[in-house]
Every structure is written in structure tokens, then in C-alpha cells.
Amino acid sequence: MSTVRVRFAPSPTGYLHVGGLRTALYNYLFAKKHGGAFLLRIEDTDRTRYVEGAVENLIRTLGWAGLQFDEGPGVGGDRGPYVQSERLSLYREYAEQLIRDGHAYYAFDTAEELEAMKAEQERQKLTPKYDRRALMLTPSEIEAKRASGTPSVVRLLVPDATTVVIEDVVRGRVEFESAMIDDQVLLKSDGYPTYHLANVVDDHLMGITHVIRGEEWLSSTPKHVLLYRAFGWDLPVFAHLPLLLNPDRSKLSKRQGDVAVEDYMRKGYLPEALLNFIAFLGWNPGDEREIFSLEELVREFTLERVGKSGAVFNSEKLDSVNRQYIKTAPTPRLVEEIGARLTAHGVPVPSEQQLAGVVALMKERVTTLEEFATGCVYLFTDPAGYDEEAARKNWKPETGGWLKDLVPLLRGMEGFTATALEAVVKERAGSLGVGAGKLIHPLRLAVSGTSKGPGLFEMMELLGRDVCVRRIERALAALG
């Protein structure tokens, strides 16, 4: 087999979809496993959908995920340029070659004429296809129209009575009858190619050996095969990946949840956790293992273990995977991440030592990094208020007096440790003749403003004596 060359070829139409990230990941894994090259190509020929800044965002998101491309924008390579809008003259050249060789033709239909054609076919319950009226034009008529500047497109001339066979690594043998294939527009009137022409020309010129992409492109593949044949080029190996599905097995869409990789970045999912989760959306290693590093995925990945069936995007499973990665992530890394998130939320950032204590206290209790910054703000700043339900349940008329008497005991402690704190509180509860919970629950409310969180005494040790005493006194003033 020749040196493996694969590409991820997104359109810059906005955010990077998680399905796009899976496509990029599978291409990356396949290339690295076989010692090949992973290319990034920007397919920006549909100018009506182009979004300013989307290219930079795509590159930044791939970098966050750790999927470094070997050739592409900003990286270079000897098969560039890697942005299709910079290759327009090439597409025009190859479109004209197809016309000369009898595999394509000019068409001059207006949008109104095409709409009327479609309406008539629908009325007759025919398959919507171009009716090839442009083939009735004589060479002189075609030349006259072109000379006069009449807008034209170039269409693929699909052979009649032909079966197009695709041997797909994932789907197996797939056949398409040419009677069901439209004479696809290859070059638009504005000089830009459609996806079909640009895709095939670029894949050939860039030496792509394997085309690994989503199942939604399978129906376009017979047009691509016909183009390869028309040019006399060898076909790449095709592998069409299964659809990503919502839990109700509808196609994954933002109507039912987040689909942009940026959403998961913002929420604080670790890139390696997201990649690990996405790798299993269509592929499995053949055993019970679930946690893989990127290097392990490279070693284990094969296209033959990618299934045909749609893969359900289970957010609960992603949460579970992310929790496991947070538990084992190095503390310095989490400290840096949390500090940046606190700054973004306008929360005072404590010392690295204090942040490391927060990590130790909370990393087995959170699902995402964002929860460090939003779910336990009381570890960084005094509570702005107190949970009303918790106050009704745990702050009784006698509570204030009990906590007021506890303050001098806390101030007089020799070592403000979780173990010592627990002993003091339980001893005080015993002297009052009440269960320890009668002090623990209101004490937690006073210190954190809520009834939930990490172990009370571990939290108080982390916050320190002065902070805890100050917060108890503030609660006494607010709650009585």
C-alpha cells in the first residue's frame, strides 16, 4: 500500500460539529497508525455559507483537541494551497478538460427555468433531475451564448444504463444505478466549483489514499466515482462513518442538546475525555476497555471495527468519562484551568496552594472544569446569601446561640484541621445533649451558604480559621 494520506475537509460555516471532530479524529488515528499524513483542507467554495473567522476557529479547536495536522493552512506542505478558494483556476482547467473529453457540458438555464422544470417533474411524480435540455444546443449556439456573456454552469454528463459500484470499508458493496444520478453541477456561474468537482480534483492532486467521511456523503460518492473514471484517475479507498444520533435515534442536532465542540470546551470537558468518548461513537476495540489515551487509540484503531449502525450520543456517558479524566488529571494542570475560569467569571483567584487544595477537595465531586468555578464559589469568596430551604430546615431558634458559643472554641483551637474540627463540634454537641447534625448542618450553611458540598470539616480546614469565623459571624448577623 502506498503511503497513507488522509484529509479532514470542513467547510467554514461556523462552529465545529462533534460529528466533524469524530471525522477528524478517525482520519488522524488512521494516518498515525499507518505512519501517514493527516491533512486539513478548507472547503470554502460555497460563499453563501461562509462565516468570517470560522477557519481560525476550526484550527484553534483542532489544536485544543490535540489533533495536529501535518499539512494545511498555516502549516504548509507541497500539495497546497489547502484552501479551495485559492485554487479556482485549477477547477476551471479540469472542468474544461471534462467538456473536451465529452464527460461534461455547458448549461445556460436560469433559476426560473430550473424551478419550472422541478415543479413540472413534481407534478408528474418524476424523480427531480436536470432534463438535459442544454444538450440540445448546437456547438455554435453554445459558443454564441458564451461569447455574449450568458451565465452558464458546467454539468457532469452521467453515463446512461450504468451501475456505479462502491466498495466501502464500512458499508461494504454499495451499488447505484446511473438513472438515479443527476447531472450534477460541477462549476457554478460565479466560477466557483461545487463540492463534487473540487473534492475529487483536490483529493487526487493531494494524493489522498483514503476518504474517511460521514455517511451523509455516501449518496454523493457515485458522482465522485464517475469523475475519477472520467479523468482516468485511481479511486481512493472509501469509508463512510455511521450517523451520530440523539437518544431518540433522530439525527444529532442542536434542538436536543449541544453539538458544537466549542460548547464542550466552554463547559469544561477535557479534550482527551471528549476524544475518548467520540472515538467510541461508531468504533470499539473489541473488548471491555473504555478509557484510552490518544496514543492508545492510535495503536488500537482500525476502520474494520467501525460499525454501520448509527451511534447514539449519550451525554451521561460523556459525563462519566470526563469525571474519570478529571480524577486522574495532574493537579498543576487543573489549577491552571480553574484559575483561568475563575478570572473569566470575575471571581478572585486564590494562591496556587489554595487552588490545589480546592482540586484535592472537589475533583472527585465535579463532572466538568466549569463546576469548579460555578458550583463551589463559596470556596473562593464569602457566600452572598443562604439557601432558604436549608435555613428553614436547619436554622432553628436555638441555632444562633449554639454557633455563637462555638466561635470562641474555634478561635482557641491549636490546630485547625479537619480531624480536630470534627472532635470539637461533636464534643460541643454532646455537651448540649443534641446530635452532631444539629451543629453540622447549620455550620455548613453558615460557612458555604448551601446545604451541599464536600466534607464540612475538610472544607473548613481549607478555608482556614479566620475565614470560617468571619462567615459564621456574618451568618449570625443575617439569620439570627
Tell me the catalytic residues: 254
> Rounded to an integer, what distance in angstroms lies between the CA atom of residue 254 and that of residue 259?
5
Q: What is the three-class DSSP state of 293? A: coil
Rounded-to-integer distance, Cα 300 and Cα 321, Å: 19
Alpha-carbon distance 340 to 11, whole Å? 31
Radius of gyration of the chain (CA): 32
Report the SS3 class of residue 104: strand
| Four-point Cα dihedral 223, 227, 232, 236, nearest 10 | -60
Taking CA atoms, 230 is separated from 97, 206, 209, 226, 285, in Å, by: 10, 18, 18, 6, 39
Contact 340, 300 (CB under 8 A): no
Phi (first) and psi of residue 154, to 5 degrees: -110, 125
Alpha-carbon separation of residue 284 from 1, 19, 189, 252, 278 (angstroms): 25, 17, 45, 20, 11
